[in-house]
Amino acid sequence: MADPINVALVGYGFAGKTFHAPLISACADLHLHTVVTSRPDDLHADWPEAKAVADLDTALSDPAIGLVVVATPNDLHAPQAEAALRAGKAVVVDKPFALSVAEARSIARLAQDRGLLLSVFHNRRWDSDFLALKSAVEAGDLGCIITFESHFDRFRPEVRDRWREGDGPGAGIWFDLGPHLIDQVLTLFGRPQGITCHLAVQRDGGVATDWAHAVLRYERMRVILHADMTSPAAEVRFRVHGSKASWLKSGLDVQEDQLKAGRAVGAPGWGVDPLAAVQVEGTTGARAAVTAPPGDYLAYYGAVAATLRGEAANPVTAEQAIAVMEVIEAGVLSDERRAEVAL
């Protein structure tokens, strides 16, 4: 059996600590070797065997590192991914891929020129509810999709002192949760014809977008994407209406909460959603609970490792992530113009 691939994780804030470090460590074909962090004590309290270094250059100069995972604030994604690629390392970038389409394309060209893996962590393709919905759509259980509505709503009325809610580049809910919503839709339906988007700051003291509402126009179908921080009753996750049936789901995938709670990845009950979706038949009105597979974020890193070994395809390609960035960027432009922007 081949030795695990050594990974350098860049950043040990929320994304690095909550998502990437536990998932990397749980993947048998990867080894959390090095973490670039200014808080080595926090790292070693969780992962005592990982090597802590203070700067990216130190990690990139280590020939033992085969994969670099960028999990820093959004404005650092592109420059740090570029530095890693120029150092000859394969790269995973947390979403969003970059701050602009131009940045994303530049990094993708560099990876292609160097013949290196570049993948983006669009982990919510492996949400339990999305896996079940994807199966229903692809099987034709709902018929022709007419309206597809996807929400990522929370109740966090107090503005937190963190970069995601500040006034810096790449902050705000459209760059934070928008990529999740958009990537799932593009995975199912491909590129829309246009987007109409409204962005707002609704909380007292807020400076970053905390409310986002977008309508994606397809030939017949309309897709509604919504995210906010001001919904005490965040009941709707998916509301999908097709020519045969509707598909309704409340509640979010449980994996993030399980990771926050420190639960071991893959432990019994991992990714099992306690709230079943409901499929409603159009002709009879009959309602049936939907059996969903467990959510499986670990599958992303398993696929990355297999890709590096030449055994699988990149689970989220740079081209797919660029498509997400195109919708993000068009949404910002639509809000500025107060008009639809063609895609």
Whether residue 332 has pLDDT greater than 80:
yes
Per-residue pLDDT of 144-201, as tens digits, reads 999 999 999 999 999 999 999 999 999 999 999 999 999 999 999 999 999 999 999 9
Q: Domain spans of the chain? A: 5-121, 124-295+327-342
Label residue 49 by pLDDT band (50, 70, 90).
Answer: very high
Q: Which two tokens stand for residue 109?
A: 């060209």
Listed residue (132, 182, 122) closest to 152, CA to CA: 182
Residue 285 Cα to chain centre, angstroms: 34
H-helix or E-strand spanning residue 80: helix 77-86
CA distances from 148 to 173, 222, 246, 300 (A): 20, 6, 10, 25
Listed residue (31, 95, 98, 103) closest to 67, CA to CA: 31
Architecture of domain 124-295+327-342: 2-Layer Sandwich (3.30)
Q: Where are the alpha helices (DSSP H) in 190-313?
A: 255-260, 298-308
Pick the CATH number of 5-121 from 3.40.720.10, 3.40.50.720, 3.20.80.10, 1.20.1440.60: 3.40.50.720
Per-residue pLDDT of 103-150, as tens digits, reads 999 999 999 999 999 999 999 999 999 999 999 999 999 999 999 999
Mean pLDDT in residue range 44-64 = 98
Per-residue pLDDT of 200-219, as tens digits, reads 999 999 999 999 999 999 99
Q: DSSP letter string over 311-325?
A: SS--SS-HHHHHHHH
